[in-house]
């Protein structure tokens, strides 16, 4: 009783004070502005939450599916939250993907490719931005041309050239391409680096030159430490794109050097065979393994397993990444 009473009196006093404030025109304006702001904020948050949901929806969906027990595959009563949690899907998917082996290869491949891409594209970007000479703008035009021409267009002659060099089916092809600035979307990285270096003040360079640095020292000691945001952005993108790349990895490093993504695609087209090869049949009953829903579920779990390490890495570097983007003036 008492609490209700006190609430009532409180509300009454609140109302009275509000009326008082509304009397003066200045207060009225302030209040109106605040109310408008609040409405705009509600809209903003509603929109953002909705969009975040759209982005997160597939991931949530995948997770909800992955933890479902194989026996519940056909149960239409279960949509989101699994009735019986089970890790059996993960077990099967890991065997089908040859997970740990593939993960090791992927990590090695992506890391080396990222380092090489960073080295080649940052050098080229700096040369295009600051070490200009006659004809360098033509070369830069050619670099832009490599962005526009998709690499798939030239992949068949490229494959033939690589085969002639005797490099086919070896990961060194990918290393060579990224080290020579022709890796996956290297043109974009060169462009990003060039724009970034152009945005750095010329005074920095001049001060270093006055202090007796040569051009390489200016790059290595002054420009590179300042280019940290661009390096983070390019490094992450290059790592991710190499991780997710199927086409080139499959084309050039063939069957011996499989990554998570190539395994995922292989499983996509030949799940039954992959499972039979892995000897998973004995783990589960016949009625489950012949179910198309079951293959769909395993595929989905494979998808999660492939993306999981990347997501973990992303959430560790995400703060750096976001800050890096905010400070890298990737502007023409």
Partner 1 sequence: MKNNARIEKLNKKIALLSARIEKAAAERAELLSLATVPLGKVFRLERLLFRLKSGREARREKLSALETGSPARRKARRARIAYLSPEAGKIYSEQIKAKKEKYEKSLDKATEKYIEKAKAKQTGQKGVSYRQVAVAGRKRERLKKTVQHYELQLLRLSEGKYQLLGFFGKIKRSFSQMPYGKQKLVFGLLFLTPWIIGFCIFFAVPVFTTISWSFQKLETVSGGGFKSTFVGFGNYRDLFTTATLAGSTISEVIVASVIDILLDLPTIIIFSLFIAALLNTRFKGHQLVKAIFFIPVVYNITVINNTLTGMFGQRFDSAITEGFNLSQRFAFFLQRIGVGGNLIDFLISAVDRIFTIVNMSGIQILMFIAALQSIPKHLYEAAKVEGATSYEMFWKITFPMVSPIIMTAIVFTIVNSFATSEIMNFMTVNSQGTTMATNNPGLYSAIAIIYFLANALIIAAAFVIMRKVVFYHDK
Residues in 225-264 at the binding interface with partner 1, rule: CB under 8 A: 233, 236-237, 240, 243-244, 246-247, 250-251, 261, 264
Instruction: Count residues binding partner 1 (CB under 8 A).
Output: 100
177 binds partner 1 (CB under 8 A): yes
Question: CA 130 → CA 136, 189, 200, 312, distances in Å?
Answer: 10, 16, 10, 37
Q: Judged by CB under 8 A, which stretch of 23-31, 94-102, 182-190, 271-279 contacts partner 1? A: 182-190
- Decide: 216 and 130 in contact? Cβ < 8 Å: no
Quote the least distance from Cβ 85 to partner 1, whole Å.
Answer: 17
User: For partner 1, which is the closer residue by CB, 56 or 87?
Assistant: 56
Distance CA 56, CA 74 (A): 25
Judged by CB under 8 A, the residue of 219, 227, 232, 242 near partner 1 is: 219
Nearest to 198 by CA among 22, 26, 330: 330
Judged by CB under 8 A, the residue of 120, 253, 259, 289 near partner 1 is: 120
Q: Looking only at residues 50 through 79 of this chain, which bind partner 1 when binding is defined by CB under 8 A? A: 51-52, 54-56, 58-59, 61-62, 65, 79
Helix (H, G, I), strand (E, B) or coil at 215: helix
Judged by CB under 8 A, the residue of 9, 13, 17, 136 near partner 1 is: 136
- Decide: 159 and 115 in contact? Cβ < 8 Å: no
48 binds partner 1 (CB under 8 A): yes
285 binds partner 1 (CB under 8 A): no
The C-alpha R_g of the chain, in whole angstroms, comes to 28
Q: Judged by CB under 8 A, which stretch of 3-11, 93-101, 128-136, 278-286 contacts partner 1? A: 128-136
Distance CA 182, CA 185 (A): 7
Q: Looking only at residues 144 through 173 of this chain, which bind partner 1 when binding is defined by CB under 8 A? A: 146-150, 152-158, 160-161
Beta bridge partners of 68: 85
Quote the least distance from Cβ 305 to partner 1, whole Å.
Answer: 10
- Residues 6 or more apart whose CB falls under 8 angstroms from that of 196 comprise 125, 129, 227, 229, 230, 328, 329, 330
């Amino acid at each position: 009783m008492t609490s209700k009473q006190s609430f009532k009196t409180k509300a009454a006093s609140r109302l009275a004070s509000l009326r008082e404030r509304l009397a003066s025109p200045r207060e009225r304006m302030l209040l109106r502005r605040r109310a408008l702001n609040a409405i705009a904020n509600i809209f903003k948050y509603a929109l953002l939450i909705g969009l975040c949901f759209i982005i997160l929806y597939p991931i949530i969906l995948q997770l909800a599916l992955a933890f479902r027990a194989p026996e519940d595959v056909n149960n239409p009563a279960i949509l989101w939250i699994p009735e019986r949690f089970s890790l059996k899907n993960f077990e099967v998917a890991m065997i089908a993907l040859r997970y740990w082996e593939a993960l090791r290869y992927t990590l090695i491949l992506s890391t080396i490719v990222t380092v090489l891409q960073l080295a080649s594209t940052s050098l080229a970007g700096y040369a295009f931005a600051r070490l200009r000479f006659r004809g360098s703008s033509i070369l830069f035009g050619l670099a832009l041309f490599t962005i526009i021409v998709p690499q798939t267009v030239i992949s068949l002659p490229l494959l033939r050239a690589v085969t002639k060099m005797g490099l086919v089916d070896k990961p060194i092809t990918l290393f060579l391409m990224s080290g020579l600035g022709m890796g996956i979307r290297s043109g974009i990285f060169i462009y990003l680096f060039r724009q970034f270096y152009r945005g750095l003040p010329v005074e920095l360079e001049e001060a270093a030159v006055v202090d007796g640095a040569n051009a390489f020292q200016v790059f290595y000691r002054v420009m590179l430490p300042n280019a940290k945001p661009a390096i983070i952005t390019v490094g992450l993108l290059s790592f991710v794109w190499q991780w997710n790349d199927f086409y080139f990895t499959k084309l050039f490093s063939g069957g011996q050097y499989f990554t998570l993504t190539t395994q995922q695609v292989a499983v996509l087209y030949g799940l039954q065979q992959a499972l039979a090869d892995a000897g998973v049949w004995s783990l589960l009953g016949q009625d489950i393994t012949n179910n198309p829903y079951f293959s769909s579920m395993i595929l989905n779990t494979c998808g999660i397993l492939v993306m999981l390490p990347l997501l973990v890495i992303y959430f560790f570097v995400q703060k750096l990444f976001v800050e890096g983007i905010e400070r890298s003036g990737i502007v023409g």
